[in-house]
Amino acid sequence: MANVLIVEDEKAISDLILMNLRLVGHEGRQVFDGNEVSEVLREFQPDLVLLDVMLPYKDGFSLMEQKIFDGIPVIFLTAKDSVIDKVKGLKLGADDYIVKPFETVELLARVEAVLRRAKPTERYISIDNVSIHFDKREVTLNNKTVDLTNREFELLEVLINNRNIALSRDKLLDLAWGYDYFGDTRTVDVHITKLRKKLEFENRIKTIFKLGYRLEV
Ligand code: CA
C-alpha cells in the first residue's frame, strides 16, 4: 500500500485516478491547485506524487523547481504530447511522465514501477491460501510450491497489479505476452483456466461476459 498525492485540477481525472489507486489497494490525497501543495505536504507524507503540469496559481514545473517534493518520486501528468514537456519534466527530476488521456492499466503500471524503484523492498502478496513472492517469482498454495510457467506467472502478475479491474483478453495479451505477440485471445482463456486450477482461484478470477477477466481481491 502506498500513499499517493494527486495534484490535478481536473476533478474528474483526479477522482478517476484516486478510484483506481484505491481499487488496487493504495490510498491517495487530492490537491487541486499549485498553492495548496506545500500546505498539504506538512501533514501528509506521500510515497509518490502524480503531478499535473498545467495547474492554477503554480504549475507543476514551478513546484518541481521549488524542490518541495524532496526525496519523493514524482510522475508528471502532461496533457500535451509534447517532447519539450517530457524532457523538461524529467530534467527537473521527475521519475516518469504520463501523457493524458491515459489508460488505467498504463497509469497503474507506471505507479507500480516507480514505487518499486523507490522502495526496493521485497514485493509480496497473499490471497486466500496463495502466497506470491514477485522477486523470487515463487508461488505457494498451502505452503507448497506451485509450478507456474513464465507466462502463467506474468499473467498472474498483471491480474494482481490491476486487481478489481476488468481487463479485456486483448489487454491481457498485450500486458502478459507483449505488444508484438500476435496470438489468439483463446490463449488467454487457456492460461486463465490453468491459473484458476493451480491456485484454486475459481472464485477469485471472474469471467467478465464478452470482455475478459477480473481478479477480485
Ligand atoms: Ca491541468
50 alpha carbon to ligand 1 midpoint, in Å? 12
Give me ligand 1 centre to Cα 63, in Å.
14
What is the predicted pLDDT for the residue at 198? 98
pLDDT band for position 117 (50/70/90)? confident
Grid cell at residue 97: 511522465
Q: What gap in Å lies between CA 2 and CA 14, rounded to an integer?
A: 17
**Ligand 1 center from residue 188 Cα (angstroms):** 38
What is the distance, to the nearest Å, from the Cα of residue 88 to the centroid of all Cα atoms in its chain? 23
Greater model confidence, 84 or 147: 147
pLDDT of 120 reads 66
What is the enclosing helix (H) or strand (E) of 13? helix 11-23
Query: For residue 192, how far is its CA from the centre of ligand 1 (angstroms)?
Result: 39
Question: Under CATH, which number does the domain 3-118 receive?
Answer: 3.40.50.2300
Among 11-15, 102-106, 200-204, 210-214, which stretch is predicted with the lowest mean pLDDT?
Answer: 102-106
Dump pLDDT digits (tens) for 4-37.
999 999 999 999 999 999 999 999 999 999 999 9
What separation in Å is there between the alpha carbon of 35 and the centre of ligand 1? 14
In the predicted model, what is the mean pLDDT of residues 53-62? 94
Q: What are the two backbone dihedrals, phi and then psi, of residue 200, each rounded to the nearest 5 degrees?
A: 55, 45
Q: In terms of pLDDT, which residue wins out, 119 or 97?
A: 97
Q: How far is the CA of 51 from the centre of ligand 1 (A)?
A: 9
Distance 41 CA to ligand 1 centre (A): 20
- pLDDT tier, 151 (very low <50, low <70, confident <90, very high otherwise): very high
Radius of gyration for the alpha carbons in the chain, expressed in angstroms and rounded: 19
DSSP of 153-195, one letter per residue?
HHHHHHHHHTTTS-EEHHHHIIIII-TT----THHHHHHHHHH
pLDDT band at 183, cuts 50/70/90? confident
Contact predicate 160/25, CB 8 Å: no
* For the chain, domain boundaries: 3-118, 124-215
Q: How far is the CA of 98 from the centre of ligand 1 (A)?
A: 13
Query: Distance (Å, rounded) from C-alpha 43 to C-alpha 134?
Result: 32
Adjacent-strand bridge partners of 6: 30, 50
Class of domain 124-215: mainly alpha
